[in-house]
Amino acid sequence: MSKNVTAAHTAVDIQRVSLVLNDLRLPAIKLVWADFAARADKEGWPGARLIAALAEHEVAERDRRRIERHLSEARLPPGKTLDSFAFDAVPMISRAQVTAMCSGDAWLEKGANLILFGPPGGGKTHLAAAIGLALIENGWRVLFTRTSDLVQKLQVARRELALEAALAKLDKYHLLILDDLAYVTKDQAETSVLFELISARYERRSTLITANQPFGEWNRIFPDPAMTLAAVDRLVHHATIFEMNVESYRRRAALQRQSRAGRPPTYATIKSTEELSRSDNQIND
């Protein structure tokens, strides 16, 4: 057989492989199979080794693309990782326990919850987002949202007679992170949809909540005492609770900057950092 005929057959085979890989929806293998095949010919790989290498590459690429999709939909605040979380500043939180929870198997499969209490600036949002990120990397689906934002969306869904569908749509997330629970307005309509959300996920899907107030002050969120009791009961029935009663990161950092500048903290600095600690802490908590 002439070289021209052989080259023509090779070109046809290459086209056939490309078409078949398209039909099988194997885009990662389509991009690299020729390089893998050339290496296999050069190094004398057996056929099984070549097939295994291509299959493993496809699986790895699918995992990477899946994590990218899940990170995009999760809406996590950027830069919040376990490596950047100051565990030494929150001695009541065990790094080992948090790391173990990031596998997700022991609690997400059971629909258990995680609740983070503490003053503004104490690291609640950072830790919640870092846990969410680690869970996504381990294959779980997560959604991060300010509680007030989600409650407003659910109120719109209720007015449009689509609340049940909206709640069902949230079921695809193994973990729903509700940040800043305390900032929900004490309004019957808002707290009602919040309670329905908590009830809908109860013992089915997990919820992580960050809150400034302990349970004893949740009557500021739910105007109905019976609703308060029922919401707390559903959240804590299967829950891990972290109490992060530490000084605000932001206030401490501001005072440290003042100290490094060679002058003692002024009254104005202290007051401004106190106001900062009371401000909305979605980004920097």
pLDDT at residue 175 is higher than 90: yes
Cβ atoms of 239 and 215 closer than 8 Å: no
What is the pLDDT at residue 284? Answer: 40
Residue 246 pLDDT level (bands cut at 50, 70, 90):
low
* 272 compared with 254, residue with greater pLDDT: 254
pLDDT at residue 1 is higher than 60: no
Return d(Cα 275, Cα 285) in angstroms, integer: 14
What is the pLDDT at residue 274? Answer: 44
What is the pLDDT at residue 30? Answer: 87
pLDDT at residue 4 is higher than 70: no
| DSSP sequence for 215-263 | GGGGGGT-SSHHHHHHHHHHHHTTEEEEE-----HHHHHHHHHHHHTTS
User: pLDDT tens digits for 157-168?
Assistant: 999 999 999 999
Burial of residue 184, with CB atoms counted within 10 A of its CB: 0-12 exposed, 13-18 middle, 19 or more buried = buried
Amino acid identity for residue 279 in this structure: S
Q: What is the rounded average pLDDT of the residues 160-183? A: 93
What is the pLDDT at residue 248? Answer: 57
User: pLDDT tens digits for 95-138?
Assistant: 999 999 999 998 999 999 999 998 888 899 999 999 999 999 99
pLDDT at residue 3 is higher than 70: no
What is the pLDDT at residue 25? Answer: 85
Residue 27 pLDDT level (bands cut at 50, 70, 90):
confident
User: What percent of the chain has pLDDT above 90?
Assistant: 50
* 102 compared with 185, residue with greater pLDDT: 102
pLDDT at residue 147 is higher than 70: yes
What is the pLDDT at residue 229? Answer: 86
The residue among 44, 236, 199, 211 whose CA lies nearest residue 117 is: 211
What is the pLDDT at residue 278? Answer: 45
pLDDT at residue 267 is higher than 80: no
What is the pLDDT at residue 45? Answer: 92
Residue 53 pLDDT level (bands cut at 50, 70, 90):
very high
pLDDT at residue 250 is higher than 60: no
pLDDT at residue 214 is higher than 90: no
Give the range among 13-17, 165-169, 210-214 with minimum mean pLDDT: 13-17
What is the pLDDT at residue 279? Answer: 44
Q: Which residues pair with 19 in a beta bridge?
A: none
Residue 69 pLDDT level (bands cut at 50, 70, 90):
very high
What is the pLDDT at residue 162? Answer: 96
* CATH classification code of 87-243: 3.40.50.300
Residue written as token pair 């490596």:
83
Domain boundaries, the chain: 3-74, 87-243, 249-278
Give the range among 120-124, 142-146, 279-283 with minimum mean pLDDT: 279-283
